[in-house]
Structure 1
Amino acid sequence: MVTTDRVHVETDDFDELYRVLSRVAERAGLELIDGKVHSKAGPDGTHGRIMQWLVRSCVRSRPELWLYPVQGLRVQRHRRGRARPDGALAPSGAFAGQGEWVDPAPVLMAVEVTSYDSDTDARDRTEKPRAYAETGIPVYLLIDRDSCEVTVYSEPDGVRYESARTVPFGKTVVLPDPVGITLETEQLKDWVR
């Protein structure tokens, strides 16, 4: 996991770095949040199983939507950041014809499933909620495998989410409008260490 804590990186420089590294690796997994470059850990098999469950739950409830896995989003003020959430819920076909980093306007919900790495706390619990709120993404869903909890952030005010509701795995979670989906999280208990 590479994180630059001292160097502020401009968006154009990040985009060039990403293009170069993408030629070397199939998917570099790089993100730019608050001017810092982060390397996102690759998902483990259980992470993938959780995303599979979530995709099925979303499509079953709202078939006109799709949970796009690891879609690059232009985030933060003036869209100067680059994030790759584990999932971006948007209308089916919303990103057709766009490039690697898409306009986040159609995104109803960003999703992160915590990884077992040292950057999870800062990235998924602090930096990402702020970045998604600044972007105006209505809902941020954090599936936290460390604490065995689900947190639903909503009501972005352009700086932060004004509402955050946390429930333990096993409880029913209502994703507020514009998402309007109810999740039964009992199965998540089976997919943690």
Structure 2
Amino acid sequence: MTVMAERPTTSGTESQTFEELLESLDELVVPDGFKAEIIKGNIVVSPWSKGYYTLVMRMVCGQLEPHLPDGHVIERAPNLFVFPGAERAFGPDIYAADTTALATVSNHLDGEALSFVAELTSSSTRDDDLTDKVETYAKAGIPVYLILDMQEEQASVLWTPSAKGYESRCTRPFGEKLPIPAPFDCLLDTAGFKAPAS
């Protein structure tokens, strides 16, 4: 398998089943500074985030943590959540999940245990964050999906998941407060989410 850096997809995986892709993903040696996911039947290797993305992720976690559903934790750890019905496996930038989903020795975590996911877009992942992940997260019944569009400097929250996608959406430019719906029911202050000057 080859690893490519920009919109990178490993080659030679197109004919593999989802289970075989998961096995290949487990065996893949991912270079430092990259993460790997299964998207649209391929193993996709993407560069890790820019430095200030970490500050944004910490702000999101800090604001949402007091509003978590009972028994849930919010993390930005690189964990792989699998969605067998959609044949996808994603490592969300931020997620909230029932702690029981994390009580395992497996590195393939149950995507249906998620109560919240957030993705910070980059030039190489933006298209998937805005399309394939929206569809997969909605079909899995994840109550809230937050998209921080770092290129357009705006935040979108999607909720009311269904088999057809998310039925509700609210978008605000960075700097404004964004209402985060149930099960969180809070406001997310997006001040400080913009890229630093240099």
State the TM bucket, normalised to the shorter chain.
0.7 to 0.9
One-letter identity of the residue aligned with 1:32: I
Partner of residue 136, structure 1: 141
Partner of residue 129, structure 2: 124
Partner of residue 32, structure 1: 38
**Distance in 2 between residues matched to 1:46 and 1:163, nearest whole Å:** 29
| Structure 1 stretch displaced more, 24-33 or 135-144 | 24-33
Paired residue secondary structure (2:169): strand
Among 10, 15, 19, which residue is 1:12 paired with? 19
Aligned residues: 189
Paired residue secondary structure (1:188): coil
Q: Displacement of 1:68 after TM fit? A: 2.2
CA contact (8 A) 2:101 2:109 kept: no
Partner of residue 60, structure 2: 54
Partner of residue 102, structure 1: 109
CA 1:27–1:180: 2 relative to 1, 3 Å: same
CA contact (8 A) 2:21 2:42 kept: no
Q: TM-score, normalised by structure 2?
A: 0.83
Q: TM-score, normalised by structure 1?
A: 0.85
**Distance in 1 between residues matched to 2:46 and 2:18, nearest whole Å:** 17
Residues 119-144 of structure 1: CA distance to partner in whole angstroms, max 9, x if unpaired? 33321111111111121111110011
One-letter identity of the residue aligned with 2:181: P
Among 182, 188, 193, which residue is 1:177 paired with? 182
Q: Displacement of 1:60 after TM fit? A: 3.4
Identity %: 25
Q: Displacement of 1:155 after TM fit? A: 1.0
CA contact (8 A) 2:68 2:183 kept: no
Residues 62-107 of structure 1: CA distance to partner in whole angstroms, max 9, x if unpaired? 38542222321112x6252111110111244541125111112221
Is 1:161–2:160 an aligned residue pair?
no
One-letter identity of the residue aligned with 2:112: A
User: CA-atom RMSD, angstroms?
Assistant: 2.6
CA 1:82–1:27: 2 relative to 1, 3 Å: farther
CA contact (8 A) 1:71 1:87 kept: no
**Structure 1 gap segments, 5+ residues each:** none
CA 1:166–1:98: 2 relative to 1, 3 Å: farther
CA contact (8 A) 1:33 1:131 kept: no
Q: Displacement of 1:40 after TM fit? A: 2.4
Q: Displacement of 1:148 after TM fit? A: 0.8
CA contact (8 A) 1:73 1:102 kept: yes
